[in-house]
Amino acid sequence: MIRSMRYLPLVLLVVAGSELSGCSTEKPGPPPVAPLVRGATLETVRMTAVPETLEVVGSVRARTAAVVAARIPGSVSVLKVREGERVRKGQLLVVLEAGEYLAGSSGAKASMDEAVQGVDEARSRQHLADATFERYKKLYDEQALTRQEFEQKQTERDLARQGVLRAEARVRQAREGGRSAAVLADYSRITAPISGLITSRQVDLGATVFPAQPLFSIEDDGSYQLDLAVPESFVGAIRPGTPVRIVLDALQTTLTTKISEIVPASDPATRTFTAKVFLNGQRGLRSGMFARASLSSGVTANRLLLPEKALFERGALLAVWVVDSTGIVRMRLVKSGKKQDGRIEILSGLADGERVVVAGGEKIADGARIEP
CATH number of the domain that residue 294 is part of: 2.40.30.170
Q: Radius of gyration of the chain from Cα atoms?
A: 48
CA distance 194 to 267: 30
Of 192, 213, 251, 212, the closest CA to residue 65 belongs to 192
What pLDDT band is residue 21 in, cutting at 50, 70 and 90? very low
Q: Give a yes or no: residue 367 inside a domain.
A: yes
Bridge partners, residue 137, by sequence: none
225 and 286 share a domain?
A: yes
202 and 126 share a domain?
A: no
356 and 329 share a domain?
A: yes
Residue 18: the pLDDT is 39
72 and 207 share a domain?
A: yes
Q: Give a yes or no: residue 24 inside a domain.
A: no
Average pLDDT over residues 185-213: 88
Residue 5: the pLDDT is 41
Residue 276: the pLDDT is 93
- Say if residue 232's pLDDT is above 80: yes
146 and 251 share a domain?
A: no
CA 125 to each of CA 47, 162, 163: distance values in angstroms, whole numbers, following the listed order: 104, 11, 9
Assess contact for 60 and 251: CB atoms under 8 A.
Answer: no
With b for 16 or more beta-carbon neighbours within 10 A and e for fewer, the 307-318 pattern comes to eeebbeeeeeeb
198 and 270 share a domain?
A: no
Considering 249, 275, 300, which residue would you say is the last residue of a domain? 300
CA distance 270 to 363: 50
What pLDDT band is residue 133 in, cutting at 50, 70 and 90? confident
Residue 88: the pLDDT is 93
126 and 252 share a domain?
A: no
Q: What is the dihedral of CA 163, 166, 168, 172, to 10 degrees?
A: -170
Considering 300, 333, 358, which residue would you say is the last residue of a domain? 300
Region of 84 please: left (phi>0), alpha (psi -120 to 50) or beta: left
Q: Give a yes or no: residue 2 inside a domain.
A: no
Q: Which domain holds residue 142?
A: 99-186
Residue 160: the pLDDT is 82
Query: Regarding beta strands 369-371 and 36-38, do their DSSP bridges make them parallel or antiparallel, or are they unpaired?
Result: parallel
Q: Give a yes or no: residue 4 inside a domain.
A: no
CATH code of the domain containing 359: 2.40.420.20
132 and 252 share a domain?
A: no
On average, the pLDDT of the chain sits at: 80
Residue-wise pLDDT for 272-325, tens only, equals 989 999 988 788 888 889 999 988 766 667 788 888 888 888 888 888 888 888
Q: Give a yes or no: residue 349 inside a domain.
A: yes
- Say if residue 182's pLDDT is above 80: no
Assess contact for 204 and 76: CB atoms under 8 A.
Answer: yes
The count of structural domains within the chain is 4
Assess contact for 232 and 271: CB atoms under 8 A.
Answer: yes
131 and 107 share a domain?
A: yes
192 three-class SS = coil
323 and 366 share a domain?
A: yes
CA 112 to each of CA 36, 46, 80, 132, 361: distance values in angstroms, whole numbers, following the listed order: 104, 89, 34, 31, 92
Residue-wise pLDDT for 54-71, tens only, equals 888 999 999 999 999 988
Q: Who has greater pLDDT, 245 or 296?
A: 245
Q: Give a yes or no: residue 33 inside a domain.
A: no
293 and 169 share a domain?
A: no
Average pLDDT over residues 9-38: 49
Residue 34: the pLDDT is 62
- Angle between the N-to-C axes of helices 99-141 and 147-186, in degrees from 0 to 180, rounded to the nearest 10: 160
Considering 271, 300, 329, which residue would you say is the last residue of a domain? 300
Q: Give a yes or no: residue 151 inside a domain.
A: yes
Identity at 134, one-letter amino acid code: E
Q: Give a yes or no: residue 3 inside a domain.
A: no
Element (DSSP H or E) covering residue 137: helix 99-141
CA distance 273 to 270: 9
Residue-wise pLDDT for 24-45, tens only, equals 445 554 555 567 777 778 888 8
Residue-wise pLDDT for 337-372, tens only, equals 877 778 888 888 888 888 888 887 777 777 878 776
φ, ψ dihedrals at 125, nearest 5°: -65, -35
CATH code of the domain containing 209: 2.40.50.100
- Say if residue 208's pLDDT is above 80: yes
85 and 196 share a domain?
A: yes
Residue 172: the pLDDT is 79
